Amino acid sequence: MRALIVVDVQNDFLPGGSLPVPHGDEIVKPVVQLIEDPNQKWDQVVMTRDWHPYNHISFAKVHNLPDFSPISYESPLEGDDRKQEGIVFPVHCVEETHGSQLAPELLEEQKKIGCFVVNKGYLQDRECFSAFNDIWNFQRTELHDYLRCHDVDEVYVVGLAMDYCVKNTAISAAKLGYKTTILEKYTRGFISDKESMLKFREELAENNVQLA
């Protein structure tokens, strides 16, 4: 069974939002068309939302740091002294705000087809890029169970941003055993220079994610 996973096409990640992905708006209509495309015959369509409490650990202002500063995250597990390097962001996708809602055309589509919506990043004390799990892989969303319950073995990932949540969702999916493809035409990212794109492609290849 084939599933389409539409990652984080939310107002805050679009132009005019608090953390806009360059040209993110260009994919909204095409993604709706992809969902509706009769030739695709999706068995499942899932939409994900970045869904943070107002004081989420990934927000720069929580740490009194300028936006996009580097940060060293400590494991939320007591007694675990591992750290992960990251960067902090402007406040974005606060749960139940306008910024965290799906883009209007996608919201309309979601209501029309009644597809499953997965929230992620709702635990205050940890960053979360993948729609399957937080960056420590301690907390899992319901996405894997949902897909398994519906006999999905093949996933296609689209949405925003290509080099963060789309990439991490795809890598998680591949690690969980799904045949995984990112449909490049239906994503936009923060990176665009040749070197970063090359590294991005290598990372996908190393993790058994196809780019089509």
Least Cβ distance, residue 10 to Zn ion (angstroms): 10
74 bridge partner residues: 83
Catalytic residue among 8, 25, 134, 163, which?
A: 8
Residue 120 among the catalytic residues: yes
Least Cβ distance, residue 125 to Zn ion (angstroms): 14
Our CB check for Zn ion shows the closer of 139 and 210 to be: 139
* Contact call for residue 8 and Zn ion (CB under 5 A): no
As a whole number of angstroms, the distance between CA 195 and CA 137 comes to 28
| Coil vs helix vs strand at 119 | strand
Our CB check for Zn ion shows the closer of 88 and 152 to be: 88
Residue 175 among the catalytic residues: no
User: Which value, to the nearest 10 degrees, does the dihedral of the CA atoms of residues 152, 156, 162, 165 take?
Assistant: -10
Our CB check for Zn ion shows the closer of 8 and 35 to be: 8
* Contact call for residue 109 and Zn ion (CB under 5 A): no
Q: Which residues contact 129 (CB under 8 A, 6 or more apart)?
A: 135, 164, 165, 167, 168, 169
Q: State which of positions 38-57 bind Zn ion (CB under 5 A).
A: 50
Least Cβ distance, residue 50 to Zn ion (angstroms): 4
Binding residue count for Zn ion, defined by CB under 5 A:
1
The closest of 111, 108, 110, 128 to 120, measured between CA atoms, is 128
Residue 8 among the catalytic residues: yes
Catalytic residue among 93, 115, 128, 165, which?
A: 165
* Contact call for residue 134 and Zn ion (CB under 5 A): no
As a whole number of angstroms, the distance between CA 113 and CA 110 comes to 5
Catalytic residue among 115, 120, 134, 163, which?
A: 120
As a whole number of angstroms, the distance between CA 57 and CA 124 comes to 6
As a whole number of angstroms, the distance between CA 201 and CA 53 comes to 32
Our CB check for Zn ion shows the closer of 40 and 86 to be: 86
Q: Which residues are catalytic?
A: 8, 120, 165
Name the site residues for Zn ion (rule: CB under 5 A): 50
